[in-house]
Amino acid sequence: MDRMITTRFRLWAVPLLLTACAMQANRADGDDPVPHGGPCDACDANCDTLHDFADVAPFADLLLLGGIGCAPCAGDLNADTAVDGRDIQLFVDCITTPPPPIEGACCTAAPCAVTTQAACSGLWLGAGTMCQAGVCPTGNLTAYRPQRGSGYFPMSKTPVGDADEANDVTGPGIRINAPGDADAQGEDDLIEVLVSASPANLPVALRRETAALRVWTSRDKQPGTELIFTNDKTAALPLSGGAMTVWVEWAMAVHGFASLSLEPVDANLTLDTIRFHTFHGIVLSLGGESQVPSVPVDFNHGTFVVGIALYNRGYDVLMYDEDDVSADGSGAVYNAAVDAITHRGVDRVAIFGYSHGGGSTYDLAERLDVNRAGIGIFEILVTSYVDAVENDSDFDLDQELRRPPSTGWHANHYQVGSLTDIFLDGGPVPNSNPAPTGLNVETTPWGAGSTHYQVDDFVQVRSYIEANFVERISP
């Protein structure tokens, strides 16, 4: 009999409670289950950590049938050790009244804001945290300009500035490193990237835009040093003291652009992004007799000063002693150019040189032009002479007056030899710039009285070459 009464009572008690809860819920405008925590939650009658309508039936059972709920305190909202009528209103209030939102600092690309975890699209720092200076984690990716051989010589290790690091032209260039690349000086096509994050113990990961980017912890791709990407994101990076160096490879044979980002492992927050572009071009810089590339650069070696300026602007610049080009154009420079064209997709070439380096510019351009059928498709877009002298031997004094074969645009600066330079000089070259045959700098106010040894060092000459190369060939 008691059981029948209880059952009938439950039949109406549960809907009644549900109705009461629903009415109160509407008034409270609360529509989400309320998560709850704590050692024993009387309101969470079914122990699912939520305060919602699913708690009504278990509460009704405790109210009508007694017994022990899923937790010792279940249903005993007034904590008087009994579940009875005095708990009903408190239960209804609990179910229908949303607790105050749990908020904390939310770090996104925008300024930090205090919000709930659910509303935070970035990194939520936890309940009760506030937006204060330095509270959000920071991270940085610093890419460097391309390597050469076992390091950077004859360039200095040069970081890409923050203002350029995502720029498709001036940002970090990267050589295609598909199989077959000769790498005469050893693997040097990976780009060094310094990763840093703060706080130092923040677990961070790299995210890549495309699988063309592979990332290594060794500069020469030692076995076992590749970072594994899953869905284009790595696991937590093994930073030491909040920093580490990685080496980025463009491992596909096709050109492209791709970003690499740093973010916390467990949050959608980009701490920093760098954007790579593959090199289409190569710039070959040839010094004069007895001029060899050095670090730091000798500022009397204007050709190398220009080479470094172009390198800093994002070009893949190779600087050489002009004797690395033999009179028939063969040698290390030619091999480097052919390797770039045949294995790295380079299709734009720039060559410039001073004195015998000008003569070598001609010899190199001629050989590249003659051997096109065996090399592939490329253009010699720009060339430049400064007081060019033929380079059939170290003692050759003949003016280099021939325009480099097949060049798209040629600059020429020269002076007229005198006692001071033992009558060593270049001369006018047909179809050169400034038109029509280049510039005799001695006809300018700044270059009057120049000698062979000075002509490559005028800022006007260097700037002319740099500006016109930048205008006519992209990296």
Partner 1 sequence: MRMTRTRAHRANAGILAIGSLAIGMTIVLFAAELHARDAEPALIPGVDEAYQSAIARVAEAKDRAALADAIDRVVALDRGDKSKLVAQLFHYRTMSESTAATQAVVGHVFKRLEDDKPSVVAALVPYLDDESSQWRQYARSLLRGYEDGSAVRLPDYSNYHAILEVDFRAGREPRASLVKFMYEGDPGVALLTLMRASQMRDPAELKPILWAEHVVADLLWRRQFGFVKADAVEQSVVSELDKLSRHKAWWARLYVAEMIRVHPELGTQAMRERLAGDANDVVRAVVTKS
Count of residues engaged in binding partner 1, rule: CB under 8 A? 31
Binder to partner 1 among 236, 394, 467, 471 (CB under 8 A)?
394
Residues forming beta bridges with residue 353, ordered by sequence position: 286, 385
239 contacts partner 1 (rule: CB under 8 A):
no
- Chain positions 354 to 373 lying near partner 1, rule: CB under 8 A, are 363, 366-367, 369-371, 373
Binder to partner 1 among 65, 398, 448, 467 (CB under 8 A)?
398
52 contacts partner 1 (rule: CB under 8 A):
no
Least Å from the CB of residue 457 to partner 1: 14
Decide whether 298 or 392 has the Cβ nearer to partner 1: 392
Decide whether 362 or 469 has the Cβ nearer to partner 1: 362
Q: Candidates 20-28, 118-126, 416-424, 459-467: pick the segment binding partner 1 (CB under 8 A).
A: 416-424
> Which residues are CB-contacts of 205 (< 8 A; sequence separation ≥ 6)?
233, 234, 235, 236, 237, 262, 263, 264, 265
β-bridge pairing 233-234 and 317-320 = unpaired
453 contacts partner 1 (rule: CB under 8 A):
yes
327 contacts partner 1 (rule: CB under 8 A):
yes
471 contacts partner 1 (rule: CB under 8 A):
no
Cα 137 from Cα 21, distance rounded (Å): 43
Q: Candidates 8-16, 67-75, 188-196, 414-422: pick the segment binding partner 1 (CB under 8 A).
A: 414-422
Quick count: other Cβ atoms within 10 Å of Cβ 307? Answer: 28
Tell me if 221 sits within 8 A of 238, measured CB to CB.
no
Decide whether 1 or 419 has the Cβ nearer to partner 1: 419
379 contacts partner 1 (rule: CB under 8 A):
no
Residue 277, SS3? strand
Cα 164 from Cα 113, distance rounded (Å): 29
β-bridge pairing 229-230 and 233-234 = antiparallel
Decide whether 80 or 394 has the Cβ nearer to partner 1: 394
Cα 26 from Cα 278, distance rounded (Å): 59
Decide whether 145 or 452 has the Cβ nearer to partner 1: 452
Cα 11 from Cα 8, distance rounded (Å): 5
**Dihedral sign, CA of 91, 93, 96, 98?**
negative
Q: How far is CA 58 from CA 9, 17, 25, 65, in A?
A: 14, 11, 19, 10
- Chain positions 193 to 232 lying near partner 1, rule: CB under 8 A, are none
Q: Applying CB under 8 A, which residues contact partner 1? A: 289-290, 326-330, 342, 363, 366-367, 369-371, 373-375, 392-398, 419, 421-424, 452-453
